[in-house]
Chains A and B, each alone.
Chain A
């Protein structure tokens, strides 16, 4: 990143563009449950979040073109992903003895 050769106007415009994009996506967040993918609400919400996150990372956090750092971020994210796949996808999904266990089928208090 070179501090001396920046085009102030262009970068500022970039910031505003991204802001508008993010605001739009936030609006989508709100209308989505009534509009589309209502059956897989959770998935839709997370997809929008990922999209937003991607915009923030690339533009606000200047990751575009940062090969090394992007690689590191991917690495960290894939580790988190692996935790999810194993713990949620493999272990909890195959919970043994769910029927007899209190934590899964406790009597509701009210």
Chain B
């Protein structure tokens, strides 16, 4: 790809010239493509929310009880962490667009750091739940034992681990993408004029955040009213 792309010109019958959009260097096309990819994420999580809502309708009280037993303060902290990381990501992109490569890299590192903290907190949370006997294939989530939770709660936690797990998986991928982005920046492949990759990874990070915006209240907050919450 060493040689520069020269846009083609098409000429109509009056002799007017029209610039042809090639696939190379098509910033808007790249963005459009990535948005479409994100729509598939919306449908994927949309379908999982559908499953969640399905059982929520069948077992409303169980869902509230189960939600009430989650640790809202850890969840809330993670929400704030993701909020701030979305900011650092955005600021980094902004810096890149005005040519401040160093600042941009710093911001990416900050985002990675925040993402790691998010995962660590998540880890604490899951461990605590494990110790309370709530984990996949474990104690209270097994069926037919003395400790078994009622169906509604079991389904709630099943989806909780699936969805937060998948969300966590997205965070891990995001960290990988950011490390790769740093490498591309160092190699000079991503720059002020050519930052579609950066742009798209920033979008990716935002959608990871966006998913959390719904995951968080659905799991942590629906049981917050009236009943005493927390551990």
A91-110 interface code vs B (CB 8 A; 1 in, 0 out)? 01101000000011010111
Which interface class (under 10, 10 to 19, 20 to 34, 35 or more) fits A?
35 or more
Asked whether any CB of chain A lies closer than 8 Å to the CB of B105, the reply is: no
B208-229 interface code vs A (CB 8 A; 1 in, 0 out)? 0110011011100110111000
Contact partner of A108 (CB less than 8 A), chosen from B84, B91, B150, B224, is B150
Q: A12-B94, A15-B87, A52-B213 are in contact. Are A109 and B50 (CB under 8 A)?
A: no
Q: Given the complex, which residues of B lie within 8 Å of A45, measured CB to CB?
A: 217-218, 221-222
Contact partner of A83 (CB less than 8 A), chosen from B46, B83, B216, is B46
The reply to whether B57 and A72 contact each other, CB–CB distance below 8 Å, is no
Asked whether any CB of chain A lies closer than 8 Å to the CB of B193, the reply is: yes
A interface secondary structure, majority: helix
Chain A residues within CB distance 8 Å of chain B: 1, 3, 6, 8, 11-12, 15-16, 19, 22-23, 26, 29-30, 32-34, 38, 41-42, 45-46, 48-49, 52-53, 56-57, 60-61, 68-69, 72-73, 76-77, 79-80, 83-84, 87-88, 92-93, 95, 103-104, 106, 108-110
Chain B residues within CB distance 8 Å of chain A: 27-28, 31-32, 35-36, 39, 42-43, 46-47, 50, 53-54, 57-59, 72, 76, 79-80, 83-84, 86-87, 90-91, 94, 97-98, 143-151, 192-193, 195, 203, 206-207, 209-210, 213-214, 216-218, 221-222, 224-226
